[in-house]
Amino acid sequence: MKVDAYWDLAQVSQNKTEAGAAKAFEEEFVHIFLKEVRKEFEKSQFFGGSFSNKLYFELFDMQLAKVISDSDQLGIKEYLQEALKKYENNG
């Protein structure tokens, strides 16, 4: 499985548009946030610590991150696009 590094601007310009890279970053950011929140719930042992539960919640968090990112309510994607434009104009 190949993982693209979206923070590498040269690679981003070859693989995706700026909007696509910003969206992918936003989605991954939300996924990591959800995963960290989930760790606190796992400490309580409310959900159990079995492999199947961990796998289920990992997949659930990935899908939830995609839905949240697709809603365009966070503004992270737009912020990154503006930052990239400023970087290109100054660089």
Q: What is the pLDDT along the chain (91 residues), one digit of tens a residue?
A: 444 444 455 554 555 688 888 888 999 999 999 999 888 777 666 666 778 888 888 899 999 999 999 998 999 999 999 998 898 898 6
Contact, 59 vs 90, CB < 8 A?
Answer: no
CA quadruple 12, 32, 23, 67: dihedral sign = positive
State if pTM tops 0.95.
no
Q: Please tell me the number of Cα atoms within 13 Å of 32 on its side-chain side.
A: 6
Query: Chain-centre distance of CA 86, in angstroms?
Result: 22
